[in-house]
Each structure stands twice: as C-alpha cells, then as structure tokens.
Structure 1
C-alpha cells in the first residue's frame, strides 16, 4: 500500500509540495510539484498532468494564500505527467508577473503542445530567488532531457523521475542512467524530494540500492556470457537463463530490461552484437 501524500504539504520554510492529483500505476500517488523559495517571487518545479482541476485549485490556493507569483517554472523532463499541466498553470498564475519556463532540450524532436516559449536549461545553471538557489544537474537515462535540481542551501535534490520515493524507476538508457546515479551519489545529498512518492530521508542508501540493483543483474549477464565464450545468445535465450525465477508471462518485459543492460555493456565494449545475438567481447581479459 502506497503511503498517503497530502494534496498540499509545507515541507519547510522554503519548500511547498503540491500533489498533481493524478494517481496511477506509473505515477504512484501522483506527480509531486514543488514551489521553492521564501519570498514573493518563487520557482515551481514541474506542473503535473493536463486537465486536472483539483491540482489547479490547490496550486491557485497556495499562490493566493502565500502571496506568491512564479519567477520560473523548471520542468524536469518531457513526460506528460510533468509538463502536461503547464498550459493550465499559466492560466491561473498572476498575469502581471513575468514567468520564464525552462526545460533541458531532448535529443529528439517532440511536440509537447506547450503554448509558451521554453528556454533551454544547461548543466550547472543556477536559479536564485529569495531563500533558495537551485542548480541544474543534467541526469539523463530516464529520458535524454532529464534534469535533477540541487537546492544549494539544504544540499537537497529534487530528483524528478531519476529516483522515486517508492520502488525503482524505468529508464531509456541504462549507461546514462548509471552515470546519473553516480553523479547524484557524489553530491552526498541530505534529502531527496522525488517526482513521485514521499520524501527520501536516507538518500545515500537509496541511491546505492538503485546502483546495486542494476549492478547485480549486469553481473549475471557477464557471468553467463563468460561461461559460454564460444556461444552467442539471443535476448530471448538469455532471459530464459538469467530470469529463471521470473514467470514466463513476464519474460517479454524482462527481455526489454535485459536489452537495456546489454546496450550499456555494448557502449562499454564489454559485449558484441552480431546477427542480433550477443556474446562476450573476445578482447576482454578475465
């Protein structure tokens, strides 16, 4: 049972979390959006899904009650549950206040149906409002444009979908994802505020778990290929060997994850793919 997350939570003097009110199997309790800062001009991180009146009502109430206008909206990545609500949010904010919207560019063209100019985020770019400084950390893997945001004053990370408050996340590119996890680990954050799920108060342990979980599967793949150096395997064949305890009906999903691992190993020159089959790189030393 997922933990209950209130619609609005004042986490600290500089962070207000507003739940996107869009629960689901992929969004858990819903998308967490955050207002950051202590003054009138603050920053909103992510905007939830489109057409969610409950979310807009909660956000509008917070903006009015706290006498806030939005200096910046920072979007962690292009997925609809993070950017979909942008057009709606812009209709309820103070029309007299200029709000700049930012997102890291994707490596592929995407029509997000956003009716406003989007400026490009850059790695290590900083945004400062009263009471808060946010530093952009490009953390691709979940998506190519994914960013996390470091709250400098608290050494806390808004992790978007790179790290979740419950379970583990999905990713497009495991090689990039592992590099991003190690980048976040090196920051030794005190707290993580995820895009889904509750606040993470044991961030080092959580990041290490993410890394270990993936490393263990990679070890299984490498051991299988190393023990069969003269043979090449299809993804389906490897799944049957490595995911022996996984029900057959889940083997297709397992093969998807396996291929992400194999493409990471391919980037690292640890494996070779020939005729859609995989084998160990002969140049590897035991």
Structure 2
C-alpha cells in the first residue's frame, strides 16, 4: 500500500488532507478533501476530534491557498468523519464565521447516531437532501444518498466524473455496513453513475472505479455463498457469526475479526429473512443460526 502524504494536491480544485488518525479501521487515517479554487472552499469530512497535527496541516493549506472553509459536508455520522467539526468551526484561521455544516439525517428508527455527541449543540447542522447541489468557485458537487454503511451515508459526485465515496468504497480492502440490502443497492447506484475516478475516505485513489465497484458487488455475493456453504456443510448444528469468521475469513488478520463478524451478522440476518437459515437460541448474548434444510443453494 502506497503511503498517503499529509497533504496532496489532486487537481486544480481538489486538495486531500490526511486526518492523521491511523488505526486498523481507518487505515492510514481519514482522507478529507478541500474543494474549490477561490477564497471560499468546501471541506468534505473533518477527521477525528482533537488531532492537532491534522488541524496544523489544514491551517497550512488554507494559508497557502489564501482561502477559508465556507461549507463542510459530512459523508456520515461516524466519529472519524464528524469529530473535527468542533475544532474547525469557530476557528478564524480555518473557517468563515458563517461556515455551514451539512449532513444527511439518520433514519427515524435509528437511535445510534452519536454525531450529536461529537458536534457541540451551538454548531448548527443543516440537513442534506438527495440530489442537492452545493458549490463554491471552481467546484460543484451533487449529493447522492447511499445508505448501507450507515443510514445517513452520502457520496458526492462532480460533473467531470469524480466521485467522493466516503466509507461506501475504500481504497484498500472492503467496507463494513449496517444494512447489507441497502448497501448492495447503493453499490449498484454508484455503478450506474459510472464515475471516472473515486476519492475514498480511507486509502488511496481508485483510478478504475467500475472495476472496483463490481469487485465489491461480486465479493459480497461470494461471501454470502461461502457463508451459506458453511452452514449447509454443517447441518443440525448452531453457529454464531464469529464461528463463521474463523473459517470463511481465515485470511483476515485476527484483530479485524470483530469487524468481519459484524459484516457476517448482517449476511446472517439477510439469509434468515430469505428462510435459508433459522435461529436456534443464543450463546453469550450472540444469536445462533443453523441451516434451513429446505433451502436451495
């Protein structure tokens, strides 16, 4: 994996600033993107809170560009995307005094939106809408609602074929998701857009988007087949998600098994709805599943 520099000019109107928050889940860190070529700019995502190194890099870029942030667009509510909002808004060296913050709303039944904890109450967040357009001098983006990773997830497209994929598609590896059905639909929606280049929130630039998206779709379908095979080869026994991970994800580093189990659990829920698996109690608070003999592979 090629190392991502702290600051990279990607085009005349796009500068990537690395969030300086590396971890097994964020890879080298969260990629944030500064858009435009005038005095006022759009910032896509803000990294984690309280990361002075990131703020210093962002400050240096804005000073060199003689620009300020007038709009912040958050791809979704996770802390490594919204956390830096409170370090940017209100900082005269970074943002306009009337800087606008935008995020798509979570679904009404979803109680796991912790962005309110990350973004102070005095910072107003405006609700994004599907197909909404936002612009500054030198850059215009269109919002595309792509739920699945989270219910509020969005990607952003530009007229030249550029797409900012947030956590829906990564520069390395595959993404986690809250709802597999929605996620697969969102991948198809992005495939239909047919972007020419993808700038992800984690990992390097994706120069072959259609191939990458198709890989994601094929990968999920293949995983589902492997998971169903796991159960069909072990009839009459009940298993939980981590049992599946240890066999199906054996090539995955062990520290990533919890994330893999999270994904597997969503596959299991989908297969349960399709009557290909059935529930058989719980163990240590985790649901146990077994093969539904009448299902067809």
Provide the TM-score with structure 1 as the length reference: 0.85
Q: What is the CA deviation profile of residues 186-236 of structure 1, one whole-angstrom value per residue up to 9, with x for unaligned ones?
A: 1111000000111110111111111111111212334456678x8574336
Contact kept, 8 Å, 2:69 with 2:96, in 1: the verdict is: no
How many residues of Structure 1 are paired with residues of Structure 2 in the alignment?
A: 281
What's the offset of the Cα at 1:82? 0.8
Whole-Å separation in 1 of the counterparts to 2:46 and 2:249? 41
Q: Report the CA distance between 1:239 and its aligned residue.
A: 2.3
User: In the TM superposition, what whole-angstrom CA distance separates every residue of 1:121-147 from its partner, at most 9, and x where no partner exists?
Assistant: 121111122222211111122222111
The alpha carbon displacement at 1:270 in A equals 5.2
Q: Could you say which residue in structure 1 is the equivalent of 2:193?
A: 187
Match of 1:146 in 2: 153
Q: Runs of at least 4 residues of structure 1 off by over 6 A?
A: 249-252
Matched, 1:119 2:126: yes
Q: Give the RMSD, CA atoms, in angstroms.
A: 2.9
1:73 aligns with 2:78: no
Compute the displacement of 1:72 (Å).
Answer: 1.1
2:148–2:182 CA contact under 8 A, matched in 1: yes
1:31–1:240 Cα change, 3 Å: closer
SS of equivalent residue, structure 1 residue 77: coil
Distance 2:44 2:147 in 1: 17
Query: Does residue 213 in structure 1 map to residue 222 in structure 2?
Result: no
In structure 2, the CA distance between the partners of 1:240 and 1:59, relative to structure 1 (3 Å rule), is closer
The alpha-carbon deviation at position 176 of structure 1 amounts to: 1.7
Measured in 2, the distance between the counterparts of 1:163 and 1:277 equals: 29
1:130 maps to which of 112, 119, 137:
137
Alignment TM-score, normalising by the size of structure 2: 0.83
Deviation at 1:246, TM superposition (A): 6.4
- SS of the residue aligned with 1:10? strand
In structure 2, the residue matched to 1:22 is: 21
Q: Does the 8 Å CA contact 1:171/1:177 hold for their aligned counterparts?
A: yes
1:24-49 superposed Cα distances (whole Å, 9 cap, x missing partner): 22211111110112222221001111
Structure 2 contact 40–70 (Cα < 8 Å) conserved = yes
> Whole-Å Cα distance in 1 between the matches of residues 33 and 101 of structure 2?
15
Q: Which runs of 5+ in 2 are unaligned?
A: 282-287
* CA distance 1:129–1:216, shift in 2 (3 Å): same
* Contact kept? 2:74, 2:81, Cα under 8 Å: yes
Structure 1 residues 281 and 42, CA gap change in structure 2 (3 angstroms): farther
- The Cα offsets for residues 87-139 of structure 1, whole Å up to 9 and x where unpaired, read as 11122446654211011112324332312011111211111222222111111
Kept in 1, the 8 Å contact 2:70–2:96? The answer is: no
3-state SS, counterpart of residue 148 of structure 2: coil
- Give the equivalent residue in structure 2 for 1:13: 12
Conserved 8 A contact 2:6-2:18: yes
Matching residue of 2:100: 100
Alignment correspondent of 1:38: 37
Inter-CA distance 274–124: structure 2 relative to 1 (3 Å threshold)? farther
How many Å apart are 1:260 and its aligned residue? Answer: 1.4
1:239 and 1:251 in contact (8 A); partners too: no
What SS is found at the alignment partner of 2:117?
Answer: coil
* Cα distance change, pair 269–14 in 1 and its aligned pair in 2 (3 A): farther
* Alignment check: 8 A CA contact 2:68 2:95 kept: no
